[in-house]
Protein backbone atom coordinates (compact mmCIF):
# COMPACT_ATOMS: atom_id res chain seq x y z
CA UNK A 1 0.00 0.00 0.00
CA UNK A 2 1.42 3.38 -1.04
CA UNK A 3 1.97 6.02 1.62
CA UNK A 4 0.96 9.65 1.18
CA UNK A 5 4.48 10.78 0.32
CA UNK A 6 4.83 8.04 -2.31
CA UNK A 7 1.49 9.05 -3.82
CA UNK A 8 2.57 12.69 -3.87
CA UNK A 9 5.82 11.70 -5.58
CA UNK A 10 3.91 9.79 -8.27
CA UNK A 11 1.96 12.95 -9.05
CA UNK A 12 5.10 15.06 -9.29
CA UNK A 13 5.54 14.25 -12.99
CA UNK A 14 2.91 14.18 -15.78
CA UNK A 15 0.84 11.00 -15.94
CA UNK A 16 -2.04 9.58 -17.95
CA UNK A 17 -4.77 9.44 -15.33
CA UNK A 18 -8.26 7.94 -15.53
CA UNK A 19 -10.82 8.94 -12.92
CA UNK A 20 -13.99 6.92 -12.47
CA UNK A 21 -16.91 6.72 -10.07
CA UNK A 22 -19.97 4.60 -9.36
CA UNK A 23 -22.93 3.75 -11.60
CA UNK A 24 -25.56 6.53 -11.78
CA UNK A 25 -23.28 9.18 -10.24
CA UNK A 26 -24.72 11.65 -7.77
CA UNK A 27 -23.30 15.05 -6.82
CA UNK A 28 -20.65 13.56 -4.52
CA UNK A 29 -19.52 11.08 -7.18
CA UNK A 30 -19.36 13.58 -10.02
CA UNK A 31 -18.22 16.46 -7.83
CA UNK A 32 -15.29 14.50 -6.42
CA UNK A 33 -14.39 13.22 -9.91
CA UNK A 34 -14.42 16.61 -11.61
CA UNK A 35 -12.95 18.35 -8.58
CA UNK A 36 -10.03 15.91 -8.57
CA UNK A 37 -9.80 16.01 -12.35
CA UNK A 38 -9.58 19.80 -12.54
CA UNK A 39 -6.96 19.80 -9.77
CA UNK A 40 -4.80 17.20 -11.56
CA UNK A 41 -5.04 19.10 -14.86
CA UNK A 42 -3.48 22.07 -13.07
CA UNK A 43 -0.54 19.76 -12.31
CA UNK A 44 -0.17 19.03 -16.05
CA UNK A 45 -1.56 15.51 -15.99
CA UNK A 46 -3.56 14.10 -18.90
CA UNK A 47 -6.92 13.40 -17.21
CA UNK A 48 -9.96 11.48 -18.44
CA UNK A 49 -13.10 11.24 -16.31
CA UNK A 50 -15.19 8.17 -17.11
CA UNK A 51 -18.62 7.32 -15.71
CA UNK A 52 -20.23 3.86 -15.96
CA UNK A 53 -23.57 5.47 -16.87
CA UNK A 54 -25.39 8.74 -17.38
CA UNK A 55 -26.24 11.08 -14.50
CA UNK A 56 -28.74 13.87 -13.70
CA UNK A 57 -28.77 16.93 -15.94
CA UNK A 58 -28.79 19.20 -12.88
CA UNK A 59 -25.09 18.29 -12.48
CA UNK A 60 -24.06 19.32 -15.99
CA UNK A 61 -22.90 22.76 -14.83
CA UNK A 62 -19.71 21.43 -13.22
CA UNK A 63 -16.49 22.39 -14.97
CA UNK A 64 -15.24 19.51 -17.10
CA UNK A 65 -18.66 17.92 -17.55
CA UNK A 66 -18.48 18.34 -21.35
CA UNK A 67 -15.38 16.11 -21.44
CA UNK A 68 -16.78 13.22 -19.36
CA UNK A 69 -16.97 9.89 -21.19
CA UNK A 70 -20.03 7.71 -20.46
CA UNK A 71 -19.33 3.98 -20.83
CA UNK A 72 -22.98 3.33 -21.72
CA UNK A 73 -22.44 5.40 -24.87
CA UNK A 74 -21.33 2.73 -27.35
CA UNK A 75 -19.52 5.36 -29.43
CA UNK A 76 -17.11 5.87 -26.52
CA UNK A 77 -16.54 2.27 -25.38
CA UNK A 78 -13.52 1.59 -27.59
CA UNK A 79 -11.91 4.89 -26.57
CA UNK A 80 -12.61 4.19 -22.89
CA UNK A 81 -11.13 0.69 -23.12
CA UNK A 82 -7.97 2.16 -24.62
CA UNK A 83 -7.76 4.95 -22.03
CA UNK A 84 -7.99 2.45 -19.17
CA UNK A 85 -5.45 0.11 -20.79
CA UNK A 86 -2.74 2.77 -21.23
CA UNK A 87 -3.38 4.71 -18.00
CA UNK A 88 -0.51 5.23 -15.57
CA UNK A 89 -2.98 5.76 -12.72
CA UNK A 90 -6.67 5.03 -12.16
CA UNK A 91 -8.43 6.95 -9.39
CA UNK A 92 -11.66 5.36 -8.13
CA UNK A 93 -13.91 7.76 -6.26
CA UNK A 94 -17.00 7.29 -4.07
CA UNK A 95 -17.25 3.50 -4.27
CA UNK A 96 -15.62 0.74 -2.29
CA UNK A 97 -15.81 -2.30 -4.59
CA UNK A 98 -15.36 -2.70 -8.33
CA UNK A 99 -18.80 -4.22 -8.93
CA UNK A 100 -20.19 -0.72 -8.35
CA UNK A 101 -18.82 0.33 -11.74
CA UNK A 102 -20.32 -2.65 -13.57
CA UNK A 103 -18.50 -3.63 -16.80
CA UNK A 104 -15.79 -1.05 -16.13
CA UNK A 105 -14.79 -3.02 -13.05
CA UNK A 106 -12.97 -5.77 -14.94
CA UNK A 107 -11.21 -3.24 -17.17
CA UNK A 108 -9.92 -1.48 -14.07
CA UNK A 109 -8.98 -4.74 -12.35
CA UNK A 110 -6.98 -5.93 -15.39
CA UNK A 111 -5.18 -2.63 -15.88
CA UNK A 112 -1.51 -2.42 -14.88
CA UNK A 113 -2.01 1.19 -13.74
CA UNK A 114 -1.46 2.30 -10.16
CA UNK A 115 -4.92 2.14 -8.58
CA UNK A 116 -6.14 4.72 -6.08
CA UNK A 117 -9.35 4.49 -4.02
CA UNK A 118 -10.79 7.54 -2.26
CA UNK A 119 -14.05 6.75 -0.51
CA UNK A 120 -16.17 6.88 2.64
CA UNK A 121 -18.26 3.70 2.32
CA UNK A 122 -18.00 0.57 4.45
CA UNK A 123 -16.08 -2.63 3.63
CA UNK A 124 -13.66 -1.53 0.89
CA UNK A 125 -12.49 -4.19 -1.55
CA UNK A 126 -8.73 -4.69 -1.55
CA UNK A 127 -8.00 -3.61 -5.14
CA UNK A 128 -6.10 -0.34 -4.68
CA UNK A 129 -2.39 0.43 -4.30
CA UNK A 130 -3.24 3.63 -2.40
CA UNK A 131 -6.37 4.10 -0.34
CA UNK A 132 -7.55 7.32 1.26
CA UNK A 133 -10.62 6.08 3.08
CA UNK A 134 -12.69 7.03 6.09
CA UNK A 135 -16.25 6.21 7.09
CA UNK A 136 -16.09 9.23 9.37
CA UNK A 137 -16.15 11.51 6.32
CA UNK A 138 -19.56 12.77 5.25
CA UNK A 139 -18.63 12.75 1.56
CA UNK A 140 -15.89 11.72 -0.82
CA UNK A 141 -15.60 15.40 -1.78
CA UNK A 142 -14.59 16.08 1.83
CA UNK A 143 -11.82 13.49 1.52
CA UNK A 144 -10.61 14.92 -1.79
CA UNK A 145 -10.34 18.36 -0.18
CA UNK A 146 -8.48 16.93 2.83
CA UNK A 147 -6.08 15.01 0.57
CA UNK A 148 -5.23 18.05 -1.54
CA UNK A 149 -4.59 20.05 1.65
CA UNK A 150 -2.43 17.28 3.15
CA UNK A 151 -0.31 17.32 0.00
CA UNK A 152 0.27 21.02 0.57
CA UNK A 153 -1.58 22.16 -2.54
CA UNK A 154 -4.62 23.98 -1.23
CA UNK A 155 -3.54 26.94 -3.35
CA UNK A 156 -4.48 24.95 -6.47
CA UNK A 157 -8.16 24.85 -5.44
CA UNK A 158 -9.88 27.53 -7.52
CA UNK A 159 -13.56 28.50 -7.56
CA UNK A 160 -14.49 25.79 -10.10
CA UNK A 161 -12.89 23.03 -8.03
CA UNK A 162 -14.41 24.48 -4.87
CA UNK A 163 -17.87 24.43 -6.49
CA UNK A 164 -17.49 20.75 -7.40
CA UNK A 165 -16.35 19.73 -3.92
CA UNK A 166 -18.94 21.84 -2.11
CA UNK A 167 -21.76 20.23 -4.12
CA UNK A 168 -20.86 16.72 -2.98
CA UNK A 169 -20.61 17.67 0.68
CA UNK A 170 -23.87 19.64 0.56
CA UNK A 171 -25.86 16.76 -0.97
CA UNK A 172 -24.33 13.89 1.02
CA UNK A 173 -25.20 15.72 4.24
CA UNK A 174 -28.75 16.33 3.02
CA UNK A 175 -28.19 20.06 2.86
CA UNK A 176 -26.30 19.88 6.19
CA UNK A 177 -29.26 18.23 7.92
CA UNK A 178 -27.97 14.66 8.41
CA UNK A 179 -26.07 13.40 11.49
CA UNK A 180 -22.87 13.22 9.41
CA UNK A 181 -22.74 17.03 9.38
CA UNK A 182 -19.76 17.39 11.70
CA UNK A 183 -17.70 20.34 12.84
CA UNK A 184 -15.11 19.33 10.25
CA UNK A 185 -17.76 19.41 7.50
CA UNK A 186 -18.63 22.99 8.38
CA UNK A 187 -14.95 23.94 8.54
CA UNK A 188 -14.29 22.42 5.11
CA UNK A 189 -17.31 24.06 3.48
CA UNK A 190 -16.36 27.38 5.04
CA UNK A 191 -12.90 27.01 3.49
CA UNK A 192 -14.42 26.10 0.12
CA UNK A 193 -16.65 29.18 0.20
CA UNK A 194 -13.56 31.21 1.02
CA UNK A 195 -11.90 29.67 -2.05
CA UNK A 196 -14.76 30.76 -4.27
CA UNK A 197 -17.54 28.16 -3.98
CA UNK A 198 -20.87 29.85 -4.69
CA UNK A 199 -23.08 28.07 -2.16
CA UNK A 200 -26.30 29.84 -3.16
CA UNK A 201 -25.80 29.09 -6.86
CA UNK A 202 -24.93 25.43 -6.19
CA UNK A 203 -28.00 24.94 -4.00
CA UNK A 204 -30.26 26.48 -6.64
CA UNK A 205 -28.78 24.42 -9.50
CA UNK A 206 -29.08 21.12 -7.62
CA UNK A 207 -32.21 21.50 -5.51
CA UNK A 208 -34.27 24.05 -7.45
CA UNK A 209 -33.86 22.99 -11.06
CA UNK A 210 -36.85 20.90 -12.17
CA UNK A 211 -38.71 20.01 -15.33
CA UNK A 212 -42.51 20.26 -15.41
CA UNK A 213 -42.68 16.48 -15.78
CA UNK A 214 -40.59 15.94 -12.66
CA UNK A 215 -42.83 18.18 -10.55
CA UNK A 216 -45.91 16.38 -11.87
CA UNK A 217 -44.25 13.03 -11.15
CA UNK A 218 -43.49 14.03 -7.55
CA UNK A 219 -47.11 15.12 -7.08
CA UNK A 220 -48.33 11.83 -8.54
CA UNK A 221 -45.99 9.80 -6.31
CA UNK A 222 -47.06 11.65 -3.17
CA UNK A 223 -50.76 11.23 -3.90
CA UNK A 224 -50.84 7.75 -5.48
CA UNK A 225 -47.67 5.82 -4.65
CA UNK A 226 -47.01 6.54 -0.97
CA UNK A 227 -47.79 3.72 1.50
CA UNK A 228 -47.72 4.42 5.24
CA UNK A 229 -47.64 1.76 7.98
CA UNK A 230 -47.99 3.80 11.15
CA UNK A 231 -47.86 0.72 13.39
CA UNK A 232 -44.51 -0.26 11.84
CA UNK A 233 -43.01 3.26 11.85
CA UNK A 234 -42.49 2.69 8.14
CA UNK A 235 -43.41 4.41 4.87
CA UNK A 236 -42.45 3.71 1.29
CA UNK A 237 -42.99 4.66 -2.34
CA UNK A 238 -43.44 2.19 -5.16
CA UNK A 239 -42.81 3.31 -8.72
CA UNK A 240 -43.55 1.12 -11.74
CA UNK A 241 -41.96 1.19 -15.19
CA UNK A 242 -45.30 2.44 -16.46
CA UNK A 243 -45.18 5.38 -14.03
CA UNK A 244 -41.70 6.32 -15.22
CA UNK A 245 -42.77 6.17 -18.85
CA UNK A 246 -45.94 8.19 -18.21
CA UNK A 247 -43.93 11.11 -16.81
CA UNK A 248 -41.02 10.72 -19.23
CA UNK A 249 -38.73 10.18 -16.23
CA UNK A 250 -35.07 11.08 -16.69
CA UNK A 251 -32.03 10.10 -14.64
CA UNK A 252 -32.24 12.00 -11.36
CA UNK A 253 -36.02 12.55 -11.42
CA UNK A 254 -36.55 10.15 -8.51
CA UNK A 255 -33.68 11.70 -6.54
CA UNK A 256 -34.71 12.61 -2.99
CA UNK A 257 -38.25 11.24 -3.25
CA UNK A 258 -37.66 8.69 -0.48
CA UNK A 259 -36.89 11.55 1.93
CA UNK A 260 -40.53 12.67 1.77
CA UNK A 261 -41.51 9.34 3.29
CA UNK A 262 -38.89 9.68 6.03
CA UNK A 263 -40.11 13.20 6.83
CA UNK A 264 -43.45 11.88 8.07
CA UNK A 265 -43.97 12.18 11.81
CA UNK A 266 -43.28 8.85 13.52
CA UNK A 267 -41.58 7.22 10.53
CA UNK A 268 -38.20 5.66 11.31
CA UNK A 269 -37.72 3.54 8.19
CA UNK A 270 -38.43 4.74 4.65
CA UNK A 271 -37.94 3.04 1.30
CA UNK A 272 -38.51 3.54 -2.38
CA UNK A 273 -38.98 0.66 -4.82
CA UNK A 274 -38.40 1.56 -8.45
CA UNK A 275 -39.12 -0.98 -11.17
CA UNK A 276 -36.45 -0.95 -13.87
CA UNK A 277 -35.82 -3.19 -16.86
CA UNK A 278 -33.02 -4.98 -14.96
CA UNK A 279 -34.91 -5.46 -11.70
CA UNK A 280 -36.22 -3.45 -8.77
CA UNK A 281 -33.90 -0.76 -7.42
CA UNK A 282 -34.37 0.09 -3.75
CA UNK A 283 -33.44 3.15 -1.69
CA UNK A 284 -33.55 2.97 2.10
CA UNK A 285 -33.50 5.82 4.59
CA UNK A 286 -33.80 5.85 8.37
CA UNK A 287 -33.62 7.99 11.45
CA UNK A 288 -30.44 8.02 13.55
CA UNK A 289 -31.35 4.99 15.67
CA UNK A 290 -31.93 2.52 12.83
CA UNK A 291 -29.14 1.02 10.69
CA UNK A 292 -30.70 0.35 7.28
CA UNK A 293 -27.35 -0.52 5.69
CA UNK A 294 -27.32 -3.79 7.64
CA UNK A 295 -30.89 -4.53 6.60
CA UNK A 296 -30.08 -3.78 2.95
CA UNK A 297 -26.95 -5.94 3.00
CA UNK A 298 -28.64 -8.95 4.56
CA UNK A 299 -31.86 -9.04 2.58
CA UNK A 300 -31.45 -7.00 -0.62
CA UNK A 301 -27.85 -7.48 -1.80
CA UNK A 302 -27.07 -3.89 -0.91
CA UNK A 303 -25.40 -1.67 1.61
CA UNK A 304 -24.29 1.88 2.17
CA UNK A 305 -24.35 4.19 5.16
CA UNK A 306 -26.15 3.61 8.44
CA UNK A 307 -29.07 5.90 7.58
CA UNK A 308 -28.89 5.88 3.77
CA UNK A 309 -28.48 2.67 1.82
CA UNK A 310 -29.46 0.95 -1.39
CA UNK A 311 -30.35 -2.50 -2.60
CA UNK A 312 -31.88 -4.46 -5.44
CA UNK A 313 -34.28 -7.31 -6.08
CA UNK A 314 -34.76 -9.74 -8.95
CA UNK A 315 -38.32 -10.44 -7.81
CA UNK A 316 -41.28 -8.61 -9.32
CA UNK A 317 -42.19 -5.21 -7.90
CA UNK A 318 -45.18 -6.73 -6.07
CA UNK A 319 -43.14 -9.62 -4.66
CA UNK A 320 -40.33 -7.29 -3.57
CA UNK A 321 -42.75 -5.09 -1.64
CA UNK A 322 -44.37 -8.13 -0.02
CA UNK A 323 -40.94 -9.39 1.03
CA UNK A 324 -40.05 -5.98 2.48
CA UNK A 325 -43.28 -5.69 4.45
CA UNK A 326 -42.89 -9.18 5.92
CA UNK A 327 -39.27 -8.48 6.90
CA UNK A 328 -40.22 -5.21 8.57
CA UNK A 329 -42.99 -6.93 10.54
CA UNK A 330 -40.73 -9.81 11.55
CA UNK A 331 -37.76 -7.62 12.46
CA UNK A 332 -39.43 -4.46 13.71
CA UNK A 333 -38.25 -4.66 17.30
CA UNK A 334 -34.74 -5.69 16.34
CA UNK A 335 -34.50 -2.83 13.84
CA UNK A 336 -35.75 -0.28 16.29
CA UNK A 337 -33.52 -1.66 19.05
CA UNK A 338 -30.41 -1.32 16.86
CA UNK A 339 -29.55 -5.01 16.91
CA UNK A 340 -27.00 -5.92 14.26
CA UNK A 341 -29.02 -8.00 11.84
CA UNK A 342 -26.05 -8.52 9.59
CA UNK A 343 -24.33 -10.67 12.23
CA UNK A 344 -27.26 -12.98 12.69
CA UNK A 345 -27.29 -16.29 10.91
CA UNK A 346 -29.80 -16.68 8.09
CATH code, domain carrying 225: 3.10.310.30
- Which of these three, 207, 225, 243, is where a domain ends? 207
- CA dihedral 120→151→84→41, nearest 10 degrees, is 120
Residue 193: predicted pLDDT: 98
**Tell me: the pLDDT tens digits for 226-267?**
999 999 999 999 999 999 999 999 999 999 999 999 999 999
Q: How confident is the model at residue 342 (pLDDT cuts 50, 70, 90)?
A: very low
* Residue 52 and residue 174 in one domain: yes
Residue 341: predicted pLDDT: 42
Q: How many residues does the chain have?
A: 346
Confirm if 317 and 275 have CB atoms less than 8 A apart. yes
* Residue 148 and residue 202 in one domain: yes
* Residue 200 and residue 285 in one domain: no
* Residue 55 and residue 191 in one domain: yes
Number of domains composing the chain:
2
Mean pLDDT, rounded, for 136-160? 97
User: What strands, in cross-sheet order, belong to the sheet with 130-133?
Assistant: 69-70, 46-51, 16-21, 89-93, 114-119, 130-133
Environment class of residue 187 by beta-carbon count within 10 Å: exposed (0-12), middle (13-18) or buried (19+)? exposed
Percent of the chain surpassing pLDDT 70: 96
Mean pLDDT, rounded, for 11-37? 97
- Which of these three, 207, 242, 264, is where a domain ends? 207
Radius of gyration of the chain (CA): 20
* Residue 32 and residue 143 in one domain: yes
Residue 109: pLDDT above 90?
yes
* Residue 189 and residue 267 in one domain: no
| Strand stretches in the chain, DSSP E | 16-21, 46-51, 69-70, 89-93, 114-119, 130-133, 226-229, 234-239, 269-276, 279-286, 303-304, 308-313
Domain of residue 131 covers 4-207
**Tell me: the pLDDT tens digits for 177-188?**
988 999 999 999
* Residue 36 and residue 142 in one domain: yes
Residue 212 bridge partners (DSSP): none
Confirm if 306 and 317 have CB atoms less than 8 A apart. no
Confirm if 93 and 144 have CB atoms less than 8 A apart. yes
Distances (CA, A) of 268 to 104, 119, 291, 317, 342: 36, 27, 10, 22, 19
Helix 27-42 and helix 159-172, axial crossing angle in degrees, nearest 10: 160
* Residue 236 and residue 189 in one domain: no
* Residue 39 and residue 161 in one domain: yes
Helix 159-172 and helix 140-150, axial crossing angle in degrees, nearest 10: 140
* Residue 69 and residue 86 in one domain: yes
**Tell me: the pLDDT tens digits for 259-308?**
999 999 999 999 999 999 989 999 999 998 888 998 999 999 998 888 99
**Tell me: the pLDDT tens digits for 62-82?**
999 999 999 999 999 999 999
Average pLDDT, the chain: 94
* Residue 134 and residue 230 in one domain: no
**For residue 101, what is the domain's CATH number?**
3.90.1640.10
Residue 337: predicted pLDDT: 62
- Which of these three, 186, 207, 228, is where a domain ends? 207
**Tell me: the pLDDT tens digits for 156-178?**
999 999 999 999 999 999 999 98
| Residue 224 host element (H or E) | helix 212-224
Angle of CA points 150, 154, 157, to nearest 5°: 135
Residue 333: predicted pLDDT: 67
* Residue 158 and residue 267 in one domain: no
Confirm if 103 and 52 have CB atoms less than 8 A apart. yes
**Tell me: the pLDDT tens digits for 191-235?**
999 999 999 999 999 999 999 999 999 999 999 999 999 999 999
Residue 43: pLDDT above 90?
yes
Amino acid sequence: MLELESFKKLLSSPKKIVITTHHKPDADALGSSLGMGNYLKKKNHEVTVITPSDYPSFLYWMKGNDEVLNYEDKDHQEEITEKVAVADMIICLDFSCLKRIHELGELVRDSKAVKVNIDHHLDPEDFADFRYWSTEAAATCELVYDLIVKMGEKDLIDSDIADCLYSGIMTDTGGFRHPNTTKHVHCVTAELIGLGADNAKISRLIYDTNSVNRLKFIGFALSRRLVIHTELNTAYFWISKRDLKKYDSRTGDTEGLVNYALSLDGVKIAAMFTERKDGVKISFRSTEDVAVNQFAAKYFDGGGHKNAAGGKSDLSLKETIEKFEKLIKDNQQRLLNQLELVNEKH
